[in-house]
Chain A
Amino acid sequence: MAHAYTPGLRVTDSALIRRERRLPLKGTVLVARGEAVEADTVVARTELPGNVHTVNIASRLSVDPAQVPGTLRRPVGSKVEKGEVIASAKSLFGLVTNTAQTPVEGTIESVSHVTGQLILREPPMPVEVGAYVRGVVAEVLPEEGVVVETQAAFVQGIFGVGGETFGEVAIAAESPDQPLLPELLSPTHRGKVVVGGAYTSHAALQRARELGVAAVVVGGFDDQDLRQLLGRDLGVAITGSEELGFTLVLTEGFGHICMADRTWRLLGAHRGELASVSGATQIRAGVMRPEILIPRGVPARAAAEESHATGLEVGSLLRVIREPHFGRIGHVAELPPELRPLESEAKVRVLVVEFADDHTRAVVPRANVELIAE
């Protein structure tokens, strides 16, 4: 295969980032091209059609469905209040009047002479889209939204839960290998993007929630704790809509894993600055990884677009992403072209990695490494 390795996650001090902010349905764009926006600026607004309710008029009035249109007190298209009588018919030789009332406030959308059903639509629900990140409106998508552009420090995580949020960067651990324990969190972290080190626990996240922390960024986390956090086993990695009260971003993976030094240093360098964070992760077609964006002022138009890693070369910085060397960082020392047998007896393309910490070497499948993009 042409690309057997996992493209690296990006960790860079400066990148030109564009984020599309689109409404779920057509609506109104509230900002113009070139306008400066803050993370909380509302850039577009629309109304989602309300929920639909059915009312079986024929059975409520004990009439034939064909007679139902004649029983309506208000024409199709009328607005009605909750509990309002919308249809009535007399029965028992005209002695008894049966009525049908509306279960909710809404508009009469249609009525059927075949089934005797009336369809009632609730009032529309307003939906707004925010800018998410401080920057400039680079493009207006008429009636749909905008593209916000920003020059920012950019860290891609490997997995996250929780939606978009923003806050000042606060460093809570002392080193990238120190776990983020509950006692390291304090009321000063309220509304902040708190960066820990190697690991955090469910107890620390509970504390973060109590304190009103906006986001927690750490190297690793146990799946057992994730299960407790979500209240269920996460089956498929499609996240971002959880309502946890904060957003969690893992930069390395599941387990106790030190945050990569480069990520740690980069986040540390932006302590006190405003960061936009998204936990949304999707690992199928159209891969989406969680991210931390720290805007750095006006976008430099000449700056390169978001670039992607080109390929593995001798000297490339990488991280091993599967046992037995999971989480270790090193440089490519050799790229043997032939297939080599692994301990599992599978014959695959491999590389020789020299680890950064102790300079020992190991053979690993190319599929089991991830480039650390610079």
Chain B
Amino acid sequence: MIAPPESIRSILATDCGSTTTKAILIEKGPEGYRLVVRGEAPTTVEAPFEDVTRGVLNAVREVEELAGRKILEGERIVSPQSGDQGVDLYVSTSSAGGGLQMMVSGLVLQMTGESAQRAALGAGAIVMDVIALNDGRRPHEKIRRLRQLRPDMILLSGGTDGGDVKRVAEMAEILVAADPKARLGSDYRLPVIYAGNRDAAPLVRECLDSRTALTVVPNLRPSLEREELKPARDAIHELFMEHVMAHAPGYKKLMTWSPVPIMPTPGAVGIIIEKVARRDGIAVVGVDIGGATTDVFSVFQGVFNRTVSANLGMSYSVSNVMAEAGIENILRWVPFPVDEVELRNRVKNKMIRPTTIPQTLEDLVIEQAIAREALRLAFQQHRSLAVGLRGVQSERTISDIMTQTETGQSLVSLMDLGLLVGSGGVLSHAPRRVQAALMMIDAFLPEGLTHLAVDSIFMAPQLGVLSTVHEEAATQVFERDCLVRLGAVLAPVGPGKPGQPCLEVRLEAQGLPPLERSVRFGELVVLPLPEEGGAKLRATPDRGLDLGPGKGRALTAEVRGGVVGLIVDCRGRRPFALPTVSATRIDRLREWNRALGVYPRDV
């Protein structure tokens, strides 16, 4: 049972990651809820321990030591808090053991297939494959694929309510023929969620009920114009607990420790991002770049989307970033000549020894160049999935025809983006905060005015699950201890020539003298902002350039402070291009790095 929120004095939250289990202790003080300490320990899902609770207990013991108070009694979390011992609430998230791995299917890849994919990703899953009638594979190839991959769960969708049932039955038959096995444990039935045409539900039951653990929920695409992902997402969370977690080593025990269901880590991060966007009424993008994967979350026009780029990361997957981005795209961010053979070997050595860290400045610069490309590619993938519904019939006006608008356009509009939050080692632990800011700017190319922040120690998962039961505590800790506000970036959109006038900026912040600055095209400058509070900004772009209100029109806005300041990026957008001549490119990169104080010396 969960105590009433107002009576909760202390909260312990853990996130069981694939390599590390992180625990945070939150306590209520005179100024509200604050993070007290954080502890971590290696995750113990795999041999020789095969019990996730070992890692949790180790991480909690570290918290106990750092906080100087007892939380455990033997191997039990004391709850509720009694005197100085124990905590009032314990919550947890998990991505250990590979997280939640799903296969989804729809009838048409770009319609129900895409909706099913969004539902699974939004619930925090890794989508191993999307099977659809029109995915270009023949039935036996689909069956082979289903059999090869051993997912934790399958989401079967397809058709709008009242539509053709035959095609849906065909997909169910393919599933039966494949007889896929669950990843964990061979002695339990694979959970399958059916969220398709309601008229086909009896047929699907007939096919699958006796062979799988079937759950039928309302159609996630009841009509072409409507997408209802919540019932499918809720079912995924429920089955994740009931089936997947219950079969993972030690989770049965862990589940009894918390009154709140254990949530997949990315699902919990999504919740907190959505809450921030809703509270502040802004569009938000969050990115978490890990060793193996990069997750991107966004809320545009009130629509939440999440994607996971399963093979873009900074250690296990670093070599894949090089393969996907191409070596020349990585090298374009490096302000010194690098031998290609040498760079390839360095990247592979990082892949095979993933826990190493850059010691030299040159090594750091190369790592941050790779991070830019990993972030860029992950965001590119996100943009292609975070789209409006395809296949919708809409009334078109003459102007639509003239502008060639179509359904299924990306919801991501960089000009509307209000806040960009980064997390993951390479961003959160960058030796200088301005390095994190510049990596995000280079990768995402925000337009107009966009605030920047990093998650200091990656607490977003724990705060996400906490927000489902105690929103106040989660929000307070998120703002005060989790987010490090870096400041903002101001970037006009439009073409120009280096050296031409670009922008006139005026900043007025309390406690600082008013500041006026002309910035030329091709320049990158940083203007000071107070760390707390904000400043009034008035920025006037040159003719032909746009900051949001229209070409040549001034932008007036309130800018929140941050540790880096206001970065004015006049390097150009649409297009953004680095010089193609190597020597010029290197000069320009060095100039920008010096202007922002990115590194302690010219590299």
Contacts and interface: CB of A to CB of B under 8 A. Distances in A.
Contact of A110 (B97, B176, B431): B176
Interface stretch (B234-242, B348-356, B559-567): B348-356
A323 B98 contact: no
A321 interface: yes
Contacts of B174: 54
A224 B140 contact: no
Given A223-B347, A236-B316, A368 B432 contact: no
B165 interface: yes
A31 interface: no
Given A114-B203, A322-B349, A283 B357 contact: no
B41 interface: yes
Contacts of B143: 51-52, 54
B356 A52 contact: no
Nearest to B98: A285
Contacts of A110: 173, 176-177
B349 A346 contact: no
B360 interface: yes
Contact of A224 (B177, B203, B317, B341): B341
A51 B146 CA distance: 12
B216 interface: no
Given A52-B140, A114-B165, A321-B356, A109 B177 contact: yes
A186 B363 CA distance: 41
A53 B353 CA distance: 43
Interface in A338-361: 342-348
A135 interface: no
Given A2-B42, A119-B173, A343-B361, A321 B166 contact: no
A127 to B, nearest CB: 14
Contacts of B352: 158-159, 237, 253-254, 281, 283
A323 B429 contact: no
Contacts of B292: 284
Given A3-B42, A284-B292, A344 B364 contact: yes
A196 interface: no
A326 B170 contact: no
Chain A interface size, as a band, is 35 or more
B311 interface: yes
Interface string A1-40: 1111010000000000000000000000000000000000
B359 A323 contact: yes
B173 A115 contact: yes
Interface string B36-60: 0000111001110000000000100
A224 B339 CA distance: 12
Contacts of A344: 358-361, 363-364, 431
Contacts of A237: 316, 319, 351-352
A370 interface: yes
A54 B344 contact: no
A255 B177 CA distance: 48
B357 A348 contact: yes
8 contacts: A1-B20, A53-B140, A119-B173, A159-B352, A234-B323, A321-B356, A322-B357, A326-B349
Given A2-B58, A117-B139, 20 more contacts: A1-B40, A3-B42, A51-B144, A54-B174, A110-B176, A112-B169, A115-B166, A119-B173, A223-B344, A223-B347, A235-B324, A254-B346, A286-B46, A321-B349, A322-B350, A322-B353, A322-B359, A344-B359, A345-B600, A346-B431
Interface of B: 18-20, 40-42, 45-47, 58, 97-98, 139-140, 143-144, 165-166, 169-170, 173-174, 176-178, 203, 292, 311, 316-317, 319-320, 322-324, 340-342, 344-364, 429, 431-432, 600
Interface of A: 1-4, 6, 51-54, 65, 109-110, 112, 114-115, 117, 119, 121, 158-159, 222-224, 226-227, 232-237, 253-255, 281, 283-286, 321-324, 326, 342-348, 364-365, 367-368, 370
